[in-house]
Structure 1
Amino acid sequence: MSETSEAALPLLRTLTLPSDANLNGGVFGGWIMAELDKAAGLLGMRRSQGPCTTVAVENLRFVAALKVGEEFSVFGQVEAVGRSSMRLRLEGFAAAPAGGERRRVVEALFVSVALDDAGRPRPVP
């Protein structure tokens, strides 16, 4: 998947702040993972037409450092759908806020499960 893939949906875009930084001036990996989880939630809700939750992260790979002051964008697509679960492929990109070249900084595969009103798994339509 790449940002220009027609199947990849833009899911979120945010600016990294000094409060997101580790001691080396890069952005915390945990912050990046939290943003990916938000994006997975949005994509899962769209596909399952209702609430869902992350049950596993099968793969999370940091490809490059994300720096404070950069714009962070997440794109994703549904890779597979089971009875109640979905495999969601996500990629995160960094860019200067004023524009310019984007570079991939993270890729991940999330597994999400659709939930009914009682919080139990339900079929994905």
Structure 2
Amino acid sequence: MSDPYDDLDDTPLPSGALALQTIAMPTATNAEGDIFAGWLLTQMDIAGSVVAQEIALGRVTTVAIGSMAFLRPVPVGSQVRCYVDVLDVGRSSIKTLVEVWLKLPTNPELMKVTEGEFVYVAIDQNGRTRMIDN
């Protein structure tokens, strides 16, 4: 069985552009007091879609999310930062790599939490796939 952490890079600094920054609040916690993975996934999707919308010059929808492995829990009060790197722009799709890094209020060091590939497709006002004008 392969180790789920093998696919994560060992780069000590974020890759891509900062697309979203927020604070992990108590309303998004599990019973242990850490932030739900689903909340983190939502932030990643928002960050990726912001970048994809800029490329598509309009509406996009998420069509695929690659596998992810979480390296550490996200405590309440952490600054959560999502960095987005555009991997490919196709006829109607945009493939991105979204990395999540956190900064604790008591520590200036950034710590990687996870990364995942997100694929978006440009859509028109009727929700149908449209070409990206490049």
Q: Which one of 113, 118, 131 corresponds to residue 123 of structure 1?
A: 131
Flag the structure with higher strand content.
Answer: 1
Is the 1:84–1:122 contact (alpha carbons within 8 Å) kept by the matching residues of 2?
Answer: yes
Which has the larger displacement, 109-118 or 54-63? 54-63
Q: Which one of 66, 91, 106 corresponds to residue 99 of structure 2?
A: 91
Corresponding position of 2:7 = none
Structure 2: distance between partners of 1:117 and 1:98:
46
Cα deviation code 1:41-100 (max 9, x no counterpart): 101101111110101102222122111111100000110112111111000011024660
Could you tell me which runs of 5 or more consecutive residues in structure 2 were left unpaired when the two chains were aligned.
1-10
SS at 2:66 equivalent? strand
Which has the larger displacement, 56-65 or 15-24? 56-65
Q: CA shift at 1:21, angstroms?
A: 1.0
- The answer as to 2:116 corresponding to 1:102 is no
TM-score (norm 1): 0.90
- The answer as to 2:75 corresponding to 1:67 is yes
Could you tell me which runs of 5 or more consecutive residues in structure 1 were left unpaired when the two chains were aligned.
none
Name the CA shift for 1:99/1:13 in 2 (closer, same or farther; >3 Å).
Answer: farther
- The answer as to 2:21 corresponding to 1:13 is yes
Corresponding position of 1:82 = 90
- The answer as to 2:59 corresponding to 1:51 is yes
TM-score (norm 2): 0.84
Misfit runs of 4+, over 6 Å: none
Structure 1: distance between partners of 2:106 and 2:127:
42
Give the letter for the 1:122 counterpart. Answer: R
Give the letter for the 1:35 counterpart. Answer: Q
Identity %: 31
Is the 1:76–1:89 contact (alpha carbons within 8 Å) kept by the matching residues of 2?
Answer: yes
SS at 2:67 equivalent? strand
